A and B are shown apart, each in its own frame.
Chain A
Amino acid sequence: MKSEWLAHYLTRQADPLNQAYRLARQGDPVQFASAFGRFVQQDLDSLLASLDHWSTANKAALCETAYQCGLTLTRHGWLRPGQQPVTDRLFQQLMPTWLAPYPEAAPRLLTQLLNALSHLPGPGQRTGLLDHWHCCLPTPDDTPDALLMFSWMAGLPQYRDAALHALHRHPDWLETLALGDPQAFEHPWWQGSTLGWHSAPIHLGASHWLGGDFTARPRLLIAPGQTLVQAGHECWHLYIDAFGQTLLPTASHHPMLLPVPECKRLPTALAPLLQESEPPRQCLERRHDWIVSFHDSYALRVIPKTGEQP
């Protein structure tokens, strides 16, 4: 092991550590042991070795949290081959640099970042967040804002409104990330000056229920300031923008809830985009996009309005 302190700590605390491990283990015990052992030897060891100059109390506090987090990471599959590189990068590259100036706050910061990452659906999105994080390395006070902004940009549009407020508080990050004018992000399909507009239609669900988001044909509903999707007995709040889409379960008894009227044909502007698709059922035009549902398909299509300038 690179960290002599960690080796001693593991020996000293062997009983409670082993107990915590055994109570947390699940699934194939051999695979679990192998994955978690690798985490301790490579990720935890690297992290503690790079923070060797910290006081013993601070190292112990971080080690305790990281050990417990490692068990959760193992249970959630973050140490499997497809996801291992992201976890390695997090513990071996990002954490040592980011946490080094903040020994007191380190356990809390580690937990917050891991929790935020756990909301992202896959390793691709997590990598996106880590890229931004690595460039900005927020202070403990700025971490909540950074989590909001970068989680939103990594694919959690439900945090968009809160993230936009945070965006205006940190022009320095926009500059570091070369994202351009913060005002431009008021438009949901703008991705920053490097990537520009997102213009490709987005599909939600599938052509049939099997494997899609919806167990019945989705229907669009509107309430003030909200777009909802109903399929069978389930209802969701639809959040969508250039960075991602999310369907958050919600109650379908809003006092002002109205179904979007059915339509026989699409607006002329959309005709070239949906020429080959099946007949539309509803077409909801919003300020920056259209959302279309269909008579036969268990899917929705969202078409960004193009040709606008930020």
Chain B
Amino acid sequence: MKGLNPFSRISASPTRPAAGKPKEAAFDVTSLVNGPFGEADEAEEGITAPLDEKLRQAYFWIVNHAVISPHYDVEYNLSAPQPIQFGDSQTPLYLPTDQSYSSFILLPLLTFAARRKCLFIGGPGRGKTASALLMGLLGGYSPKEVRRAMQHGHPQMTVADLLGNPMPMDLMQAEQESDIRISWRRWLNMRVKIVDEYNRIPTRTQSALLTVMGDNYAEMFNQIHECPPAAWYLTANDDQGGGTYPVIEALKDRIDVVVQALPFNPRFLDELLLRIEEGVDPADCLPDALQFSEAEMDQMERSIRAVTLPADLRQRLEFFASQFEFSEYSGQQFEYKSKDTSRLAGVPRHQLAMLEDGRDRLADLGCQTRNGLSVRSLMSLIVYAKAMAFFRGNTEVELNDLTQMLPFVLHSRLFADADAPFFQQPENAALLSDKIGWLRHLFQLSCAEFERQGRHRKDEVAELKAELDEGLEGVSDKQCRKRLEQIERALHQMAAGNKLSGAVHDDAMTLKYLHQRYSNYQRWLSSQG
């Protein structure tokens, strides 16, 4: 009775028409035999659908049939949306003018496509585990397989529980460690890995998990088990250390995105009622056409990596990232003027803040955070921006892809400084608890500053760096001297015209690097006679 299951139906019409090639004909005669009673060639279309279309079909199937999520918080607009103001706080509600998405479904799906690591946070019973389960089904596993492979964190979980057990007979008879065979747990070989309530796992077991997550292998008794590339889903009721054990920082840093389960809207109680009355679990009804084979997952990851990030967007991202690590009074030497220096030394932030008298602490974005951005977080951001562009059927990342993905990637990586003057403003107080809103706002402020400084029109440091990237081969002594002069002139201009900020600091460090490369080259040229 496969055909009778309404959950198993997927639309044959394109999920995002603008993403496809425009049709030349005003209509298609084959549309006459397709319609509300079913598609004549549904099965064939399912097989040949491009992977981005298939991914969107999966998204819409989950949104329409599996997870009741009427939240469209990842907004896209073709034209400026008109805000509708609500309440005394005049909170605007925007009606997006382009296809928009629910982050709770979208981010896990992008994690699946890019094979990264996603953490679901939120109170109990909000669908975190159910969403992770659906991602396992998309990977081609049966509901039973996914449920059995799911690792449920608990305070007594041992490394053996997580990874596997040595063969008892080998333990008795082995003369050396390498003779002990390990019965590895089956979940290690899956392409979708789920760890439920990971913050209830003891610290020692977390370290073993870190090795699997970070380096894709498991180790016991000197035996190594290589795991296939996989999408990871972890769940936690609380992201602030409210689990049984504190989560080790390195494990947290391996997580690429954090998605918050939004509250259930009681207006959709009728759908819950229907599921109860009919005893239906949508997880059992995922259409076969939406499952991705291993080859398709490989291809999808390659396609995502092939999406281009335009230079203009890269420069915006560079500018944004340069704002946060800089701390003028954390170090004496230029290179050590970073928040990490004072953090490692245990110097309280407010002491450093008292020393600052030059810069506008309200306008400087770096003052809003306690830390800077790690390299891993920037890599994750680029991957998710590319995955988002791929999902929307584009071959190039758009600014809004970055704007929308950034808050979810930096959610647990960039921390707000509650003492910052920005958060003392009444209109910004809510942003302390709304991390997604704050991070999105932060990026928008950064983009506005980027444009105000005219960096999108002229960026001398980028030009100088591009010149070096072309290579030093064939560069004459004269050219080298000329470029060194240019670099020194640029540094002097920078020092004269600006207060020392994060972006200026990074530009100065870049110019110092260029200066070193050219001066070393020049010395080599001289030695050649």
Contact = CB atoms under 8 A, between A and B. Distances in A.
Nearest to B30: A144
A144 B463 CA distance: 62
Interface string B1-37: 1011111000000000000000000110101111111
Contact of B4 (A16, A76, A115): A16
Contacts of A22: 274, 277-278
Given A16-B5, A20-B6, A22-B274, A119 B32 contact: yes
Interface in A218-272: 237, 248, 250
Nearest to A166: B29
Contacts of A156: 32
A162 B29 contact: yes
A119 B5 CA distance: 24
Given A158-B27, A159-B29, A248-B26, A20 B5 contact: yes
B516 to A, nearest CB: 54
11 contacts: A19-B5, A22-B274, A22-B278, A23-B6, A64-B4, A67-B4, A69-B38, A111-B37, A115-B35, A119-B31, A147-B32
A164 to B, nearest CB: 12
Contacts of B31: 119
Nearest to B31: A119
Given A72-B37, A118-B37, A159 B4 contact: no
B280 interface: yes
**8 tightest A-B contacts by CB?**
A115-B35, A16-B1, A20-B4, A114-B37, A112-B33, A162-B29, A23-B6, A118-B35
Contact of B1 (A13, A111, A112, A148): A13
A17 B278 CA distance: 12
A63 to B, nearest CB: 10
Contacts of A13: 1
Contact of A148 (B32, B34, B38): B32
B280 A23 contact: yes
Contacts of A293: none
A115 B34 contact: yes
B3 A64 contact: yes
Nearest to A64: B3
A72 B278 contact: no
Main SS at interface, chain A: helix
Contacts of A111: 33, 37-38, 40
Given A19-B5, A72-B36, 12 more contacts: A16-B1, A19-B4, A20-B1, A23-B6, A23-B278, A67-B4, A72-B37, A112-B33, A116-B32, A118-B35, A158-B26, A248-B27
Interface string A60-80: 000011011100100010000
Interface in B241-298: 274, 277-278, 280
Given A19-B280, A250-B26, A144 B6 contact: no
B274 A115 contact: no
B32 A159 contact: yes
Interface string A40-72: 000000000000000000000000110111001
A68 B4 contact: yes
A59 B26 CA distance: 39
A169 interface: no
B35 A24 contact: no
Contacts of B29: 148, 159, 162
Contacts of B277: 22
Interface in A107-137: 108, 111-112, 114-116, 118-119
B27 to A, nearest CB: 6
B280 to A, nearest CB: 7
A17 B33 contact: no
A115 B27 contact: no
Contacts of B278: 19, 22-23
Contacts of B37: 68-69, 72, 111, 114-115, 118
A168 B529 CA distance: 89
Q: Which of B4, B26, B37 has the most CB of A within 10 A?
A: B37
A301 B469 CA distance: 68
A112 B277 CA distance: 33
A13 B5 CA distance: 13
A62 B63 CA distance: 31
Contact of A64 (B1, B6, B36, B274): B1
A118 B37 CA distance: 9
Contacts of B27: 158, 248
A177 to B, nearest CB: 19
Q: Which of A13, A108, A111 has the most CB of B within 10 A?
A: A111
Contacts of B33: 111-112, 115-116, 144, 147
B36 A76 contact: yes
Given A22-B278, A148-B29, A68 B38 contact: yes
A116 B274 CA distance: 32
B473 to A, nearest CB: 49
A146 B135 CA distance: 45
Contacts of B34: 115
A19 B3 CA distance: 12
B6 A24 contact: yes
Contacts of A68: 3-4, 37-38
A151 interface: yes
Contacts of A148: 29, 32
Contacts of A19: 4-5, 278, 280
Contacts of B3: 64-65, 68
A161 to B, nearest CB: 9
Nearest to A69: B37
A115 B1 contact: no
Contacts of B274: 22-23
Contacts of A65: 3, 38
B211 to A, nearest CB: 45
Contacts of B4: 16-17, 19-20, 64, 67-68
A112 B37 CA distance: 8
A203 B379 CA distance: 62
Contacts of A76: 36
A229 B354 CA distance: 70
Contacts of A158: 26-27
A114 B35 CA distance: 8
B5 A115 contact: no
B36 A151 contact: no
B25 to A, nearest CB: 10
B280 A115 contact: no
Interface string B159-178: 00000000000000000000
Interface string B32-54: 11111110100000000000000
A119 B35 contact: yes
Interface in A3-26: 13, 16-17, 19-20, 22-24
Given A16-B1, A23-B274, A115 B6 contact: no
B292 to A, nearest CB: 26
B281 to A, nearest CB: 12
A250 B40 CA distance: 25
A28 to B, nearest CB: 15
Nearest to A226: B26
Contacts of A64: 1, 3-4
A146 to B, nearest CB: 11
A115 B26 contact: no
B57 to A, nearest CB: 20
B7 A23 contact: yes
Interface in A71-111: 72, 76, 108, 111
Contacts of A162: 29
